[in-house]
Amino acid sequence: MNRLRLILASVTLTFLVPTILSAQQGTPPPAVATEKPKDDKAKDDKDKKAPEEKTSVTKHSVRIGGQEIKYTATAGTILLKTEDGTPKASVFYMAYTRDDVNDMSQRPIAFTFNGGPGSASVWLHLGAFGPRRVQMGDAGTLLPPPYKLVDNESSLLDVADLVFIDPVDTGYSRAVPGEPAKQFHGIEEDVQSVGEFIRLYATRNRRWSSPKFLAGESYGTTRAAGLSSYLQQRYGMYLNGIILISTILNFETAEFNPGNDLPCILYLPTYTAIAWYHKKLSPELQSQDVAQVIDESRKFAAGEYADALMQGDALPAAKHAEIAQKVARLTGLSPEYVDRTDLRVEIQRFTKELLRSERRTVGRIDGRFTGIDHDAAGEEPEYDPSISAIMGPYAGMLNDYVRNDLKFDSDLPYEILTGRVHPWNYAPYENRYVNVAEKLRVAMTENPFLHVFVAKGYYDLATPFFAADYTFDHLGLDPTLRSHLSGAYYETGHMTYLQLASLAKMKVDISKFITASVPPPPTPPAPQKAK
């Protein structure tokens, strides 16, 4: 009993001492927390979930093809809401509209995004299509910081209005407080949220009657293929064209897993191109144009090499040695190394091995860039030198540009490449490779006026050009629609616009594609003669 009395006394003092001390010091005792009425609590929760939409509108001009283009830039956010008005996410975008257009029904508009998943739209925005671009140099001629922006003479603004979209948790886009961000992080979830943004933008800005395009890079091409079908089936929004840059629709083409030999075949021509660029091929191959060397590698990969891999362990030893010699000849690697890989050279091994004797690695995003590892004897590169080369210029210039030029203020970090979106939900593709090519085929079949342009970089190890060719050759598209597929190759990597000559070529190619994908304006009826 005495022990129980001591415990009760101790508890009593614990609660009374602060009150006694406050009274002695002339200050009121601490307030007792009381629960707010339910109505007030609900109002506070609603306020937390309802950030305001912000918009900044500025006027600018740029010279494209010798012509001055005056345009309006809009940087802002759009809230995605449920039909009962509950806000779910705030999506940041930057849009450019040409000022001298009277009939918006004839003016194309392109909704543009990058990939990741987890990448903001900064790369296509400030590298390829927007009216301003980052000046950073190129492989072997990189400029030091601080960087600057210059007018982009290869912008698409002369032929189309542009809307650059940052999916949720990239850029300044965020789920509203109290909403789980993971509801936007997945193949289908991402398509639905970006699709809803496109619907809202088109509705608010009266662009439903405009020719509409999607433009995506890397995983953005995966998103674009999904959107092509989703926009049609969910909203009845039919597109005129899709621009795919550094395409990946079928992930089986790029996943080096035991039992999947397809990437070994499809990566080989890119290995050849990169080895040619770094002068690691034999003199008779180095003396040829890169396209010629690639053509030889492509034929070998799809023919003799594919046949050898199909035989697996049944491949005779003599034939195994012969194939190892041929793979070595086309990759710049030694026959002994190729033999030790069992004829299957995985991407990370190639980027580490090609320049190992020079204690250098090559980039995955762009094989023209080289890096220096601490451990030159390691199995894989310690970082991607091509990503390191571009991250600083683009991140720095975007943060400067959005605040100083577009007058949009935010204290949030602008998420360029973020891990906030992981884990990514790959449903309904669990236990099989992601393949959204079928969604694109369906969209092109149901909308026989939909055209697709595919831009491919020779030195891209993230989404190899031969893998894109394979995907579209296996699309199963009806022969009457095959002419709606077009594309071009560029002597760059994943970011096909880093090299200015390729950027200029891509501008011409895509401008022609947009123009050809838009029906001509209706001819006004001839005036009737008076009787």
Segment 217-274, tens digit of pLDDT: 999 999 999 999 999 999 999 999 999 999 999 999 999 999 999 999 999 999 999 9
Q: What are phi and psi of 55, to 5 degrees?
A: -145, 135
Q: Which residue has the higher pLDDT, 381 or 44?
A: 381
- Cα–Cα distance between 13 and 19 in angstroms, integer? 10
pLDDT given for residue 7 in this prediction: 35
CB 190 within 8 A of CB 167: yes
CA distance 476 to 471: 10
Alpha helices in 255-405 (DSSP H): 262-277, 283-286, 290-300, 306-311, 317-331, 335-340, 347-353, 385-404
Structure tokens at 128: 């390829």
Three-state DSSP at 320 gives helix
| Model pLDDT, residue 61 | 97
| pLDDT for the residue numbered 238 | 98
Tell me which of 522 and 472 has the higher pLDDT.
Answer: 472
pLDDT value of residue 21: 31
Reported confidence tier of residue 6, pLDDT bands at 50, 70, 90: very low
Non-local (6+) Cβ contacts of 412 within 8 A are 172, 174
pLDDT band at 22 (very low <50, low <70, confident <90, very high): very low
Question: Which tens digit of pLDDT belongs to each residue from 263-292?
Answer: 999 999 999 999 999 999 999 999 999 999
Residue found under tokens 């953005």: 220
Q: What pLDDT shows up at residue 521?
A: 77
State the pLDDT at residue 530: 63
Q: How confident is the model at residue 523 (pLDDT cuts 50, 70, 90)?
A: confident
DSSP 117-171: TTB-THHHIIIIISSEEEE---TT-PPPSS-EEEE-TT-STTT-EEEEEE-TTSB
Stated pTM of the model: 0.89
Q: Is 93 helix (H, G, I), strand (E, B) or coil?
A: strand
The mean predicted confidence, pLDDT, of the chain is 91
* pLDDT above 60 for 32: no
Average pLDDT over residues 353-377: 97
- What pLDDT sits at residue 45? 52
What is the pLDDT at residue 531?
58
Provide the phi-psi class of 410: left if phi over 0, else alpha when psi is between -120 and 50, else beta: beta
Q: What per-residue string of b and e applies to 11-40 under the rule 16 or more CB within 10 Å gives b?
A: eeeeeeeeeeeeeeeeeeeeeeeeeeeeee
At residue 33, does pLDDT exceed 50? no
| pLDDT at residue 3 greater than cutoff 60 | no
What integer is the mean pLDDT of 118-141?
A: 97
What pLDDT, on a 0 to 100 scale, did the predictor assign at position 15?
32
Q: Predicted confidence band at 516 (pLDDT cuts at 50, 70, 90)?
A: very high
The average pLDDT across 297-308 equals 98
**For residue range 109-120, what is the model confidence (pLDDT) as tens digits?**
999 999 999 999
Mean pLDDT of 469-480: 97
Task: Decide if pLDDT at 8 tops 50.
Answer: no
Q: What is the mean pLDDT of residues 26-53?
A: 51
* Strand bridging mode 87-98 / 161-166: antiparallel
pLDDT class of 431 with cuts at 50, 70, 90: confident
Query: Do 99 and 201 form a contact (C-beta atoms < 8 A)?
Result: no
Confidence at 519, pLDDT banded by 50, 70, 90: confident
Average of per-residue pLDDT across 33-47: 48
Cis amide bond preceding 117, omega within 30: yes
Helix, strand, or coil here: 374? Answer: coil
| In the chain, % of residues over pLDDT 70 | 90
Mean pLDDT of the 440-455 span: 98
User: Do 345 and 274 meet the contact criterion of CB atoms below 8 Å apart?
Assistant: no
Give the pLDDT of residue 48.
53
Nearest to 239 by CA among 179, 316, 128, 160: 160
Mean pLDDT of 416-433: 94
User: At residue 317, does pLDDT exceed 70?
Assistant: yes
Rounded average pLDDT over 346-368: 97
Residue type, 175: A
CATH superfamily entry for domain 55-252+392-517: Alpha/Beta hydrolase fold, catalytic domain (3.40.50.1820)
pLDDT of residue 114: 97
pLDDT for residue 507 is more than 60: yes
* 63 confidence band (pLDDT: 50, 70, 90): very high
Q: What is the mean pLDDT of residues 424-446?
A: 95
* pLDDT of 16: 32
Per domain, the residue ranges of the chain are 55-252+392-517, 262-383
What SS3 state is found at 363?
coil
pLDDT at 36: 46
